[in-house]
Amino acid sequence: MTHSHRTFENPPALPHDVVAEAVEGALHDSALEAPAAAALVGIALNDDDRAFIEHCCIEVGTRAAAGSQLLGLAGLCLGHTARRFGRLSDRAVVLGCPEPTGSRCRPVI
């Protein structure tokens, strides 16, 4: 029996202008979601600017197309942000409620 070892490395926090460009690109072209996902995870785990992280996640959560994989990721990244900083803005907390994005989220099977 052979075992395959998979590795994962957390993406780094990129400069804010690079993250903003990646997010904006993904909001207009779903083919660009992978770099935006890495950018979001990188800032959620490593950036020290809570307001910027929340802004990016809120942009995705309010503007991404129905069914976009970035919708769930924005919520996950807000969860990491809350864990790291101990709080979220009221606007970010509202994004986590079912009403604003719930009807646009679809499970990916």
Better pLDDT: 5 or 23:
23
- Residues 67-89 have pLDDT tens digits of 999 999 999 999 999 999 999 99
> What's the pLDDT at 97?
60
> What's the pLDDT at 49?
98
Q: Give Cα separations from 14 to 11, 48, 69, 88 (angstroms).
A: 9, 11, 20, 21
